[in-house]
Chain A
């Protein structure tokens, strides 16, 4: 190994490159300029800023804030520096450790996969579980009200003063079974043929005319409402906001950037990511909704019967894998509910007679109309 190294020196004041010869003294780097002037840099005070990766020159800096610099092309210089500086060389890159660094990087990649999976499976839902109950109910109510005003403007709502209060009694009956809940449930029926219902943060439940008219009995509507009410009690809409934001952050952290072309890739990953949370919420709302029905004495078979109506009118696309859907497969949901329902109650509660219900469910129409409507959207 040579004892003299060629490089060049920058003084930090001008852009002139000074060719220099570098030698290793016992305690310092000995730099000799072309004009014979010499400079000594004690090893402990030198910083190496480049040369740790392939393709880089070796760049050593000394002093500051505008440091003097020595640049050497030959990578063997670093090995020689390690030997010369010995005990003072820990802060210089050692090229012999590059294979070790490669192994550590691969290990970091594996660890990253594990950590990302842990965050996704436990961390993010855990964060939502921790944060959601700590958000003031008044905030959720405000948010729910402002979303409701946009999604269901007041001129689209069905408010028949004779029939609407009767529908509200169904909600009241269910919510009485949860006396400790801080939420006041408010029902809105929207004049729209879509067969759907949804819950908003803070206690808003929206049912579309299409769904209401597709129910055969008041207990079937109670089944739908029990599911939506559990979304509210379990704070699913609020948790969904937290989960979506955290998933975006996690994906941005993994992919390194939010901008430009990346945004498209990230959006795809984010959607795939949050769909799983959405299906988990639906499962929970089904299970807890069924328990709520049982608590008020309604036969869960009514809820299951309505799911069958939905499945018949809006069959689950066979080509769509359930991992690409916001909702679990309806047939799977029905099977789970049947297993959970157990034997029917000996004296099931009947909320309204068949005749009374036919009138009530036509809330959005003046004359009593035919019940069948073409469904156009997803199930509750």
Chain B
């Protein structure tokens, strides 16, 4: 039973990070109807920015070898700033890979490819600057907090609790913003029907940029959190997350905010339940669930019914 609590917390914590990640996809998908394949690269950048801002030094292999920022920000501040930096990168991706195609009303498939190209450029830029080695954010950045808590006999890593806390906080804030603010409502209006939204005086271009910025912020924060709880395993580590995030997104239902959260939690818990003897199969769990759900319920768990053309 004690063991179960540990599994539960671990599963919820990684599930919450998946949810943060998938929410970024969902925001962009709901306004544009396309998947942003550069999202994983923005996540990578969030991880690296967090590492640099807490004063981490660059290894020997990149162009920036030996660089160390002359500041060592507390983790929270670094995480927030890394999120902001990632939001900027996400805006650049929008301007370079999405806007030119949107202006021509090109097929959605094309922006999928061009965003993938943007992702390849970003990931290799990181590799060029910082080398291919892995970095880890030392947990000593969380000064004053114990490494693990003893909850009724279960050892819970503090980092896991923090992950869960931060992710939940962001999810709640995002929902409040989407449901309660003018900006959030306008965003929803654009995703419901861009033409009517424009008639009502909503600047859809600005809303799309807003969706990219928020999505980039969420990805960046998720990157920093994973960097803290596991490590930044080289520039490509966002790609694996990006792929799993895609699974989470479709599992919950494309474009659905509660769906992304539910999908993230299901995948996180399912992965935590994989016995350690079979840990090699962990990465397949999300896709096995996704595959089964798609066959039984093609629109995902909480997705809207698929529109059919008649």
Chain A partners chain B: no
Q: Which residues of A contact B (CB under 8 A)?
A: none
